[in-house]
Structure 1
């Protein structure tokens, strides 16, 4: 029993992991579309080297001192806005190391191990990032940039007072993207709120779609059931009418059944006629009698109409009732008569 329970638990965990992987993959595909627009609107906080912070926003006429924004009573810190933090190059140290290309997948571990040699801070007090600069001759050149965690914490606190949260940290000047991010997602994953909103919206749409699909299936099944019942009732009534006609008890039944046959139904005849006559033919008058049909109108090729009508409709003896007259506009004036087939009781 324990073994079966373990297998069930493992199966459930595997299914949960698969669903989560599909969910994350979907967001990874959709999120960059919104991320590109978000980055263009994302404000940038610049530190000038003396500890002063200035806020640069897209479309703003001037940079706003961050202290001035923090003093604004309308700023709400409950939901911080994402921003980039650009610190002064004087507050970072950079170094370059070389590693064998085969060991490049262990770059982060190697850098962490050498931080006390590469920076003036203890490893636990340093924030660092790195990027591959060159990769040739089986040697990988890596550029490392680091700064003080305490310095960044102070700047981050001041940004929070102004309603901002850093999602990227670097030394790049305005107008250029950050090449090495010192946060690397440690304080906050960029676009986390956006990813959460996309995920919840996708789930809501999926639930609504599923409910709509089940509802449409239920209505479709119900409609088919009602149609089947109606057809069965019609068949019973038809058989009863046929029986009455055969016994001669009701002459009206013969007429009713005759008018319900497709070839005798006027609406069926009109529908077929509309689908048969060419688009260049216009009818001015249409007379439908019990035994005869009369069409009056004009066409660009009236001579072909009798053959077209007789070939496609349940009509016989289709012919011109009068001579075809060519009008000044080049169209032929015609009058056509046709006989409707005799209809009797349905067999």
Structure 2
């Protein structure tokens, strides 16, 4: 099902954002109505064998379009050397399926990042730069992959970064033994045990099986060549048809040029948006710094019920015995300016303190306000 989603998703992504997910769902739904033998003939089955290691047992599960079912468990090999025992224990129809190792959810670190929709075509490359910010590991210390978790209606996507430390995954594959050399990928189990749909295994270590749809591709290619030959023969016999064919080719080239121009524009927008987000992060004070500064300035007779930082504004809600004096205590900080009480003080009979709401404007560095995304549009060459 993943391969079908990839093949249909690539076509849908060229139409408009979100179309790939619809075509993948539509194609998988149609394929689920076909018998298993028919799906195998047309290359739509894409079943895979899931391996997951326990203490001394290797759990085997089969994933198909109809779901996941348990096959059984076999003892783990005593060492990484030796022959692969799976072909001797399983039926050939199952032993020849692509093998995927399934890591437990606790072995991975998952982070969600909001990105422009144009980043979906190169999602893994884009999130490679976010590993140092989103995880406590360096990019070369983890195996990682990314997937689109949600497509929002405002032209953005919610991407999920899935990372596993290299020692954790290397130890799991080493314990797997000989079957580790025949893996097509490594996935991570979600909260419900269903694979997330990522592949953490590096490209050089992936084992690729024969494509069952290759024979049909050759047949379709031969039919296409015959149809092209017939069309060319008709063009030679009819000048009007030749002129119409030439006009159609010119239109196709123009549409391709427009598509390339749109992709270039999307790439520029993505780069400019990433630069703007970087400047925004560098110019705004961090939450840790604000909390540390507040802990130094707020007296002991005051405690906070809510602390928020949104749209350049700092908001404090809490209770204090001297709420009117908090404004003076918070003045003079380098992290915010213009602290003021918002609304009237509300006495709290339970604590004997006054409930207050205070706002302040966060101190934003000049580098953030020096350049906005609109300025880059004015300087961009036409």
Shorter-chain TM-score range:
0.3 to 0.5
TM-score by length of 1: 0.38
